[in-house]
Amino acid sequence: MDTVETIAPAAVIVLAAGAGTRMRSRTPKVLHEIGGRSLLVHALTAAEGTSPAELVVVLRHERDRVAAHLAEHASEATVADQDEIPGTGRAVQCGLEQVAAADGTVLVTYGDVPLLDPATLRELVGAHESAGAAVTVLTARVEDPTGYGRILRSEDGSEVLGIVEHKDASDSQRSIDEINSGIYAFDLAVLRDALGRIGTDNAQGEMYLTDVLSVARADGRSVRAVVTEDVMMVEGVNDRVQLAQLGAEMNRRTLERHMRAGVTVVDPATTWIDADVTIAQDAVILPGVQLHGATEIGEEAVIGPDTTLRDTEVGAAAEVVRSHALLAVIGEGASVGPFSYLRAGTDLGATGKIGGFVETKNVSIGEGAKVPHLSYVGDAEIGEGTNIGAATIFANYDGVDKHRTTVGRHVRVGSDNVLVAPVTIGDGAATGAGTTVRKDIPPGALGVNAVSQRNVEGWTLRRRAGTAAEVAARAALEAEDRSAAQTPAATAAEEHKEHEQR
């Protein structure tokens, strides 16, 4: 498209009333997601990018459910309800009932066209205003226009004479490769008047929005078209196949945007990044990574391989390997993984470490502190420089309530500990291996509760008779007995005999 002056429309009407039966889903079509947003939110993002004075969304199917989603994500939008009269023309007419403006430009778009962007809509409005047109339709040229409405132009190509549906087109009209996207800029006054003059006297019994073009031309008004070179931008979602196709295309565009901004994506084919994710320059995304929601990745961080992060903040130069995180914060220079699970509320301080096979939840881990391996840490605060030994369990649940554990600064927790909350370990303290901590440990103290080891001789022979363990134990004991029988004198005699034989 040509660059034109940016003009804010008086209103944008987003049509989202359809049932979407081809999706074969209990979920309304416009609430299906790609790129971390619903189709409707993608549409609203494009609409809001034109800075309209009014934003109206027309609903019908699963009205309350969609309206609740709308209130959560675009509270400034006004809901209009389509009645039982079918057709896009009637949907727009219902939407206009919520528009207070008397003149200006109104955009009409759809809740199932997720790749449409604000820049394209702004250019459509600008071209419409510059031409002083009654209607301007956004079109595209496609290799196979089968099934689409064709754009009929005047001889000089400046005016749109009409739109003919594929089933009604002649052979020569079917050879036209310019198609109707269904996205329009209207003169608001013209649109109100024209919709009042069209009806449902057609084979489908619907109010067609395309009939507005015929009314405008009959009144001697100008109807124009603006061609987008990006066909995918005007593609709608009708079934799950198209949902997947447009999701893949959106992901490709998202990855390309990040790569051109200085992010290394090693394998785009196995990398999925949502639309709201932010990634700083020189970050590296390794194969098999999924970044969802409002995840933020800092400069020079390395993510992956095989890592999923949702709504997680990763600081500069941090590293996350083969792990999963949700609503977590990973500080600058920190490391996570492999095979760890950071649940909501995890806050890992700068240069800290959550190692292999560790699960954390609702925990603050101080700067330089480490939970290296095979541990569960829940509902806890761990001070800076502290080291949590392997196979340590923070026992935070008593069967009714959750309790919190506090571990101070520069503490050394031994391997195979159980910290039974609520409990506090003071700064500089330590615990022995195998300790169950049930009472607070003062700063600088050593907490131990292991008892002396006692061996019960012959237990397996008595209690596990007939098992492989009993056979192995008996054989080992007999070997020990034979070895004990080899006294020093007997050994010396054997050595003398061997010497005489040589």
Give the catalytic positions in this structure.
373
CA 425 from centre of chain? 38
The answer to whether the beta carbons of residues 287 and 267 sit under 8 Å apart is yes
Question: Measured at the alpha carbon of residue 111, what is the angle toward residues 105 and 115, in degrees to the nearest 5?
Answer: 90
> Which of 275, 184, 168, 171 is CA-nearest to residue 225?
184
Cα–Cα distance between 120 and 131 in angstroms, integer?
17
Prior bond of 287 cis (ω within 30°)? no
Cα–Cα distance between 302 and 334 in angstroms, integer?
11
> Which of 368, 364, 390, 359 is CA-nearest to residue 379?
364
The secondary structure of the chain in percent helix, strand, coil, rounded to multiples of 5, reads: 25, 25, 45
Q: And the tokens for 6?
A: 């940016």
Cα–Cα distance between 150 and 289 in angstroms, integer?
42
Cα–Cα distance between 88 and 95 in angstroms, integer?
10
Q: Output the CA torsion 268→270→274→280 (10° steps).
A: -50
SS (H, E, C) 148-190: CCEEEECCCCCCEEEEECHHHCCHHHHCCCEEEEEEEEEEHHH
Cα–Cα distance between 343 and 312 in angstroms, integer?
10
Q: And the tokens for 348?
A: 């890992």
Q: And the tokens for 418?
A: 């159980």
Cα–Cα distance between 466 and 454 in angstroms, integer?
25
